Amino acid sequence: MISFLRGTVAHVGLSSAVIDLNGAGMSVNATPQTLSSLRVGDEGKLFTSLIVREDSLTLFGFASDDEREVFDVLLSVSGVGPRLALAVLAVHEPEAIRVAAHSGDGKAFTKVPGIGPKVAGRIVLELAGKLVPHGTAGTAGGPASLVSAESVWKPQVVAAMTSLGWSEKDATASIEKSLADSPDLAANGNVAEILRATLRWLGQDGARAGNRVGARG
């Protein structure tokens, strides 16, 4: 794995740069912000992620190790490729992405060209627990910590359900009812488990499935 490149900047384009490494030019794709920090003829350093395909090897470069880490985690989301992950970093700082993922703020991701509400919902769902804002310390304890935990997982579960066709109102009500007898699930805050529990609760009564937006009888 190529962790970083350091060498003379030979070229800076609109979407990529070329770093001269002892006579070998390495082409690296990067965000406009990262490219703007490079100057032809000066030494440049980029943290890199190598994407391997059957017919190509593509390097993506980042100004910091944190950017690269967020990029690699974004690639774990189904349907998100390197170009889209790079587009997210072009719109948002790494910390802003961490905060959006941690708080279930799907609207933040819809600001990225190519990402609609459905994909944004999938991103916050699949990134649950994978990206945590720097400086966020987990605290255990009383009601305040439970409310704080709910503010993290609940928007993510609601976003996942609305992407499946339920209205936000019905999704919220279903979550509350399904967890009424399982407060431990709410305390743990595991998004996937809460989503499965809610869908199981909805599946216990066929009539509940009719609450989905656009559902047909």
Of 34-38, 130-134, 146-150, where does the model show the most confidence? 34-38
pLDDT for the residue numbered 103? 84
pLDDT for the residue numbered 86? 93
Tokens 């880490």 correspond to 69
CA angle 82, 85, 86 (to 5 degrees): 85
pLDDT for the residue numbered 166? 79
Percent helix, strand, coil in the chain (nearest 5)?
50, 20, 35
Task: Identify the bridge partners of residue 29 per DSSP, sorted by sequence position.
Answer: 16, 60
For residue range 192-215, list pLDDT tens digits in order: 778 878 887 777 544 444 455 444
Q: What token pair was written down for 169?
A: 């109102």
pLDDT for the residue numbered 60? 95
Whole-prediction pTM: 0.62
Look over the chain and give the mean of its residue pLDDT values, rounded to a whole number.
81
pLDDT for the residue numbered 1? 67
Sign (positive/negative) of CA torsion 111, 115, 117, 122? negative
CB 73 within 8 A of CB 129: no
> Over 80: is that where the pLDDT of 43 sits?
yes
**Do 65-126 and 4-62 have the same topology in CATH?**
no
CB 2 within 8 A of CB 61: no
> Over 90: is that where the pLDDT of 71 sits?
yes
- The domain segmentation of the chain, as residue ranges, is 4-62, 65-126, 143-211
CB 160 within 8 A of CB 119: no
For residue range 136-178, list pLDDT tens digits in order: 434 334 443 334 456 667 787 787 777 777 788 888 888 888 8
pLDDT for the residue numbered 190? 75
At residue 135 the predicted structure's pLDDT band, cuts being 50, 70 and 90, is low
pLDDT for the residue numbered 73? 94
pLDDT for the residue numbered 206? 44
Assigned superfamily of 65-126:
5' to 3' exonuclease, C-terminal subdomain (1.10.150.20)
pLDDT for the residue numbered 216? 42
Fold observed for domain 4-62: OB fold (Dihydrolipoamide Acetyltransferase, E2P) (2.40.50)
